[in-house]
Structure 1
């Protein structure tokens, strides 16, 4: 982890503003979603990228009822269900 030297105060609603230089360097744009993690006493922000709900893969995703599933997972589930799959 590297220190950016930036210190920000929380506003009355608990919000902070990320500096423009930091947003540019991390390719964050207006309305991007951030995933929030907690590790001991640290808050970690990561740009959110949709991934397969079963494997975490981000390749060949299909939206199924609002959830992301990879083609690989679908094929594997079809085989487990006893369906013949052409690959």
Structure 2
């Protein structure tokens, strides 16, 4: 775990505000669920990702496939990922030729 140097106080209801920079970096939007974990004396907050959810689209479908631990994709997510990889490969190829 890395430190951010950001300190926040809890309010009277025990709430804290997660700074916008951190929410943006984690691609968190208003209303996104957050999972709370406790590891010994550390509280961990992370963007909630339901089991079986597509890593790309967030879809939770019976048809989703787990390709590796932590890499679950829907058909749509797999297509998006494949397209992104093909685009990256094409961009790398054109950069090497220049």
Smaller-chain TM-score range?
0.5 to 0.7
Flag the 1:61–1:31 CA change in 2: closer, same or farther, 3 A: closer
Q: Distance in 2 between matches of 1:34 and 1:43?
A: 12
Which residue in 2 is equivalent to 1:29? 29
Cα RMSD after superposing both structures: 2.0
Question: Runs ≥4 in structure 1, deviation > 6 angstroms?
Answer: none
Count the aligned residue pairs: 61
Structure 1, unpaired ranges of 5+:
52-56, 63-69, 73-87
**Normalized against structure 1, the TM-score is what?**
0.61
Which residue in 2 is equivalent to 1:58? 53
Q: Deviations over 1:14-37 (max 9, x none)?
A: 000011111111111111100110
Q: Which structure is higher in helix share? A: 2
**Normalized against structure 2, the TM-score is what?**
0.55
Structure 1 residue 71: Cα displacement: 3.9
Q: Distance in 2 between matches of 1:71 and 1:38?
A: 32
Matches of residues 4-83 of structure 1 in structure 2 within 5 Å? 4-51=4-51, 57-59=52-54, 61-62=60-61, 70-71=62-63
